[in-house]
Structure 1
């Protein structure tokens, strides 16, 4: 799973407000793209609808939208009724192009969380929103989290809690965005 979070009012990780992200962090968008490129992405209906139309579907990735609405249409994406169906559809995906992309990244930079090439290829990435993240926590084996140094007291969508079953294998180096926000990329794996 992959997400970016700031600090919510009650200590929970804030991931959204009013159907969007309450920050501007172009470095995180680039990180998200390079990490998920070539792999299927699984998202809920609200996440799909929050993407600007010009980015729907997310290019270079098979897009799966999870919704209980059997009549829902998401042009350019595959609509599925459940997380389980999405995972089953992506389990056998051939990831040669994705693995080649990750290998190129590994050859271009050092092996850190900043470098998705150092990570094992995933069958698919869960990309939101909050409800889908919580449902997927028991089956996920990796979390890529961007920690943003920002308070969002009026957030309305939150990341799932990361419990003791997870190990922080890369805390990421502190960085500063060209927008002035502090952030870091973390990588967690299931113990």
Structure 2
């Protein structure tokens, strides 16, 4: 069976709004840490065609990126939906979206491998279909864990010698992509 799921990232300013996700699955809505009013939605679609259709229906004022994992090993996980009414109110971690513009996928995969397992839950490593960018998505427990990881993130950026952006996102209550922690 061929692996072709695609994801679309929607960046927009203003309050989060519900967006139609016809044949896709919402991974979550996030607020950008330290930037009030900046929101990011991450959605998965079963085909590139349906992701492209969703991207085309997005207002021009919103920045979007169409992403796809080259193989199942690097794809975003299929997580059960979160229920904000039943879930205990606790920290949901920090989601990292590290954008490497002009980078080679294999080289990024090799470099991010250095900090896999060091308090980092890797969610996926994706390639942009509509621009020259590799996107690494991961989750850490809190800002303290992020601070410990920061030198390794900067070393990866330096080794790649490309333009990199690091988005720090706080998951909303119903987000599927969040820190779950160890069950006791």
Q: What interval of TM-score do these two structures reach, taking the shorter chain for normalisation?
A: under 0.3
More helix by share: 1
TM-score, structure 2 as length reference? 0.24
Q: Which has the higher contact order (CA 8 A, sep 6+)?
A: 1
The structure in which a higher percent of residues are strand is 2
